[in-house]
């Protein structure tokens, strides 16, 4: 199988889990932490202090269980996947960490880093949008082709890229969690910058839901109302589903039936069920 096809399989293409270590072609190396450098194209920009401290404590107790994926450079090794584990290992005072060495170009490293972060639900919407934008520029492909390579719908990528047209302050609100992707998508549908900021202020001050903000936007700017209300509602439900996936870290389905519907939350082990029950009120 070619390297290009392997990219679309995500982490399983990087570290096959089905075979015993001695039967694999790749070899785990214990690499000096100081010989590893982060990837300057890493799509994730925000590594929370509390999150890193918690992971560092786990690393002190258990070590780094999942190896980093790195590529060789003239200075040593550069991270393809696993920067958070590397940072935690540094904080924990480890001298060496397990790595798997892969040969990859800068563009392939970026693509693999995006796959890992999407898989782990690590990217906020703005980070994800910036990563897609960079890939589109470097690869010179279409949103539809990129979506197929990453296992994403073209519309999902298009909606994320629209967030990059928002003013920097509103993008920062999304990064910091003051506004969800659904809120941001509604605001991005407004052309006037002053009106965008007004809706932003109301959404945050009054704690408006996405549906409430959408209704308000339509009342204040009826000309920007979607011509296809059914399509607009489908986009809204998709955005709400994406927000829930990010918050819960698992597959979530929204099944709308008129004004009613169902939310289906998937779990894949008893441990994951316990984790979800702790998150849900």
C-alpha span between 133 and 52 (Å, rounded): 27
Among the listed residues 37, 54, 83, 242, the single catalytic one is 83
According to DSSP, the residues that pair with 264 across neighbouring strands are 253
The torsion region of residue 93 among left (phi > 0), alpha (psi -120 to 50) and beta comes to left
Residue 206, number of CB atoms within 10 A of its CB: 11
DSSP-assigned letters across all residues of 95-117: SEEEEEE----HHHHHHHHHHHH
| Partners of 177 in the β-ladder | none
Alpha-carbon 218 to chain mean position: 30
Picking from 106, 138, 132, 121, the residue whose alpha carbon sits closest to that of residue 41 is 106
Long-range contacts, 141-150 (Cβ 8 Å, 24+): 148/8, 149/7, 149/8, 149/111, 150/8, 150/111, 150/114, 150/115, 150/118
The order of strands in the sheet holding 28-32 is 28-32, 96-101, 68-72, 77-81, 36-37
Please indicate whether residue 242 is annotated as part of the active site: no
User: Using CA atoms, how far apart are residues 244 and 191, in angstroms rounded to an integer?
Assistant: 27
By three-state DSSP, how is residue 253 classified? strand
> For the chain, what percentages of helix, strand and coil (3-state, to nearest 5) are there?
60, 10, 30
Residue 177 φ/ψ, nearest 5 degrees: 85, 5
Catalytic residue set: 83
């Amino acid at each position: 199988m070619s390297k290009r096809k392997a990219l679309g399989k995500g982490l399983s293409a990087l570290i096959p889990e089905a075979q015993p270590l001695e039967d694999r072609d790749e070899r785990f190396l214990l690499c000096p932490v100081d010989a590893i450098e982060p990837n300057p194209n890493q799509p994730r920009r925000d590594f929370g202090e509390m999150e890193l401290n918690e992971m560092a404590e786990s690393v002190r107790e258990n070590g780094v269980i999942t190896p980093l994926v790195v590529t060789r450079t003239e200075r040593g090794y550069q991270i393809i996947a696993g920067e958070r584990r590397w940072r935690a290992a540094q904080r924990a005072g480890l001298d060496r960490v397990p790595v798997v060495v892969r040969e990859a170009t800068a563009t392939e490293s970026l693509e693999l880093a995006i796959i890992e972060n999407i898989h782990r639900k690590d990217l906020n919407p703005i980070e994800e949008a910036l990563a897609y934008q960079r890939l589109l520029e470097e690869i010179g492909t279409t949103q539809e082709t990129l979506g197929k390579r990453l296992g994403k719908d073209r519309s999902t990528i298009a909606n994320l890229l629209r967030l990059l047209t928002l003013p920097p302050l509103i993008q920062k609100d999304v990064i910091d969690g003051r506004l969800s992707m659904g809120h941001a998508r509604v605001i991005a549908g407004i052309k006037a910058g002053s009106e965008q900021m007004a809706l932003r202020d109301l959404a945050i001050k009054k704690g408006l839901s996405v549906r409430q903000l959408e209704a308000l936007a339509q009342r204040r700017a009826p000309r920007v109302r979607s011509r296809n209300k059914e399509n607009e509602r489908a986009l809204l439900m998709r955005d709400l589903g994406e927000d829930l996936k990010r918050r819960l870290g698992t597959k979530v389905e929204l099944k709308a039936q008129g004004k009613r519907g169902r939310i289906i939350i998937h779990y894949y082990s008893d441990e994951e069920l316990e984790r979800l029950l702790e998150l849900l009120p």
